[in-house]
């Protein structure tokens, strides 16, 4: 038995850890550990607090729901709290729950029956309808207060804007991204060199908690409704009856659900969901067991955090032993060289696994992996297979050390690992493995802005052998493009015109389009203005570049590495030959009124999105950053401005309203 002093120390450690990981999960939508690992920490904390109840405090995550209100959103107080669920990890705990329910049912002259549902891996929201019209939606937040995300929720096609009956009702649902849609979303982000989402749940949460609803509209969000929170005009006897009513109103109700007369049927349903979860089109992180009788629920009530009438059974990750036969390297569309484990095929959680990612060389060193090792693998988050550990006692001495290649396995160009990064990358822009991503970026709005040259057209051009490198864009003919579409003459004519127009872009657009690591639109403008021509930039020294404002040592190193590659210099020559502008276009009407000034934006602006306000500031020579410091000149504060406003006031930095900003940008 652990002593009270040791328990107190461990409880503090666990609270700090769970608070940190909960913030990364709920608030930042960027988890750092698996759900299972987090659940185990919480379970240990609950056990210690149960053993030493005098050490329980109100601020422990065992006593409250995780999540806060994000700066920029209006707060919504939930009429009915959106509580969490008590997690259990074994069938024995499910049976213990049934024993408790039966005892309380006997005491209150009730009978026990249940509904069992899938626990959707997404973001919980409430939807409010007045007279059958959708009027407001909010995140769970801390259970009592959430974020008003009505405009974002209106972009989800499966949320009805008008119900089949003119009724006042508040319902609860889970917003999610399906398995296939999540894979496609990450593929597109990889092509555009955007950070990949860690899992579908955080992709859904990050998409839904955008201050700009146009971003949310581009994400493949869906929803399942699973509860009536409040409906004064309609009374229900059971939970399954309420779900049937929600379906009649036009809601997309949680599809995997079953009414169970007893605990035997509950366990059968839990096992059935466990067997079928691989085949579901959406991710789940458990099965929810609920008392079906709503009057009995009222008697049972809730704690400050969870209802007493429900539990969430969490499926344990299945682990299997297999052999690591080989490690091969694949080159992704971003040039990232990723080691892949080739395994002896083994069935895990319903899927046959024969290969999985090993992420990077640090992961291989950390796990001490060698070719020929016996390893244990599991399905992380029920989706991605991962190597957990090496079974070192099974080593024979014939295992082979692995080292990452110093040259790209596809094109032979140097594979560079930059300081502060975990991956090696091929730096050849014309590497065939990188081609598709390079072209998508080159023609994008932030690059050469060739309107009409979308993802599917680029794929067709590559598949038909019409584009083998970026410069081939400028060799395309009207007939070649028209052949890609039925009656494609008009489309081809417009695309040829857009390609021709792009030749006249400023040098800064071309620099940004080349996809040099760490060089975005802002840096490209700085470089174009400083060097005036592509030739001078190509021959700029590392020392020159590293001392420039907004460039620095890492970016300077990346620029030099890019232009030292013969393939990249050849590409520039080809583009020049096809008439692409290589010079900085002086803007005689340029207005640098914000030159040297740094702005921070905080709170919700009425007239502008943050991107629009940032673009205006940059247009006038200024720049924006995300954090307030002594170097900040102005803080543009909208409604519900939070900690950034407080910090600006404490540092004596000038805070301006949206109206004052309008006055500053008047021409």
Assigned token pair, 356: 């999985």
237 noted as active-site residue: no
| Cα 380 to chain centroid, rounded | 16
CA distance 238 to 259: 10
Spot the catalytic one: 119, 370, 525, 623.
119
SS3 at position 471: helix
| Cα 156 to chain centroid, rounded | 17
273, 287 contact by CB (below 8 A): yes
Tell whether the torsion through CA atoms of 390, 391, 392 and 394 is positive or negative: negative
311, 411 contact by CB (below 8 A): no
Q: At 308, which helix (H) or strand (E)? A: none
**DSSP class of residue 604?**
B
353, 382 contact by CB (below 8 A): no
Q: Cα dist. 355→324, 331, 345, 371 in Å?
A: 9, 16, 8, 13
Among 469, 491, 438, smallest CA distance to 575 is for 469
- Three-class SS string for 101-123? HHHHHHHCCCCCCEEEEEEECCE
- How many residues would you count in the chain? 667
- Three-class SS string for 363-393? HHHHHCCCECCEEEEEEECCCEEEEEEECHH
Assigned token pair, 592: 């640098």
Q: Cα dist. 335→326, 331, 553 in Å?
A: 22, 6, 21
CA distance 25 to 268: 32
331, 426 contact by CB (below 8 A): yes
Residues annotated as part of the active site? 119
């Amino acid at each position: 038995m652990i002593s009270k002093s040791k328990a107190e120390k461990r409880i503090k450690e666990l609270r700090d850890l769970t608070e940190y990981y909960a913030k990364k999960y709920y608030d930042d939508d960027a988890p750092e550990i698996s759900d299972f690992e987090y659940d185990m920490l919480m379970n240990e904390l609950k056990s210690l607090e149960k053993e030493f109840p005098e050490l329980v405090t109100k601020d422990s995550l065992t006593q409250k729901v995780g999540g806060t209100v994000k700066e920029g959103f209006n707060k919504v107080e939930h009429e009915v709290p959106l509580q969490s669920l008590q997690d259990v990890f074994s069938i024995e705990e499910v049976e213990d729950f049934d024993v408790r329910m039966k005892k309380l049912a006997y005491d209150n002259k009730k009978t026990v029956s249940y509904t069992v549902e899938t626990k959707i891996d997404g973001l919980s929201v409430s939807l409010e309808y007045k007279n059958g019209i959708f009027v407001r939606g909010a995140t769970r937040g801390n259970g009592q207060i959430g974020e008003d995300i009505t405009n974002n929720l209106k972009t989800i096609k499966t949320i009805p804007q008008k119900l089949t009956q003119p009724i006042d009702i508040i319902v609860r649902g889970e917003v999610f991204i399906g398995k296939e849609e999540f894979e496609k979303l990450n593929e597109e982000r990889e092509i555009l060199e955007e950070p990949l989402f860690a899992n579908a749940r955080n992709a859904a949460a990050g998409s839904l908690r955008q201050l700009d609803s146009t971003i949310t509209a581009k994400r493949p969000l869906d929803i399942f409704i699973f509860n009536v929170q409040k409906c004064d005009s309609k009374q229900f006897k059971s939970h399954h009856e309420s779900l049937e009513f929600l379906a009649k109103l036009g809601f997309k109700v949680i599809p995997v659900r079953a009414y169970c007369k007893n605990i035997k049927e509950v366990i059968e349903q839990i096992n059935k969901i466990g067997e079928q979860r691989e085949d579901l089109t959406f991710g789940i992180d458990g099965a929810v067991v609920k008392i079906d009788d709503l009057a009995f629920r009222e008697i049972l009530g809730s704690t400050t955090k969870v209802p007493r009438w429900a539990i969430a059974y969490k499926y344990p990750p299945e682990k299997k032993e297999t052999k690591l036969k080989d490690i091969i390297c694949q080159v992704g569309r971003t040039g990232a060289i990723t080691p892949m484990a080739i395994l002896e095929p083994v069935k895990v959680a319903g899927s046959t696994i024969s290969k999985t990612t090993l992420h990077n060389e640090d992961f291989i060193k950390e796990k001490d992996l060698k070719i020929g090792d016996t390893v244990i693998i599991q399905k992380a988050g029920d989706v991605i297979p991962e190597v957990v550990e090496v079974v070192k006692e099974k080593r024979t001495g014939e295992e082979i050390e692995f080292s990452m290649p110093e040259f790209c396995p596809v094109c032979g160009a140097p594979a560079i690992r930059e300081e502060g990064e975990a991956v090696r990358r091929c730096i050849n822009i014309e590497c065939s493995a990188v081609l598709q991503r390079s072209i998508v970026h080159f023609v994008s709005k932030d690059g050469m802005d060739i309107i009409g040259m979308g993802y599917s057209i680029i794929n067709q051009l590559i598949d038909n052998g019409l584009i083998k490198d970026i410069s081939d864009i400028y060799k395309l003919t009207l007939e070649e493009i028209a052949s890609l579409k039925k009656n494609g003459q008009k489309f081809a004519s417009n695309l040829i015109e857009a390609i021709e127009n792009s030749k006249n872009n400023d040098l800064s657009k071309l620099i940004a389009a080349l996809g040099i690591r760490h060089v975005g639109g802002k840096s490209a403008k700085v470089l174009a203005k400083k060097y005036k021509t592509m030739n001078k930039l190509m021959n700029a020294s590392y020392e020159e570049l590293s001392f420039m404002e907004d460039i620095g040592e890492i970016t300077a190193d990346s620029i030099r590495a890019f232009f030292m590659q013969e393939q990249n210099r050849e590409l520039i020559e080809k583009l020049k030959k096809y008439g692409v502008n290589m010079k900085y276009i002086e803007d005689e009407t340029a207005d640098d009124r914000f030159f040297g000034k740094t702005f921070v934006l905080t709170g919700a602006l009425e007239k502008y999105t943050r991107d629009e306000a940032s673009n205006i500031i940059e247009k006038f020579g200024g720049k924006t950053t995300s954090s307030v410091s002594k170097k900040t000149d102005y803080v543009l504060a909208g409604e519900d401005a939070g900690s950034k406003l407080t910090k600006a006031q404490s540092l004596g930095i000038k805070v301006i309203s949206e109206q004052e900003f309008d006055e500053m940008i008047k021409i």
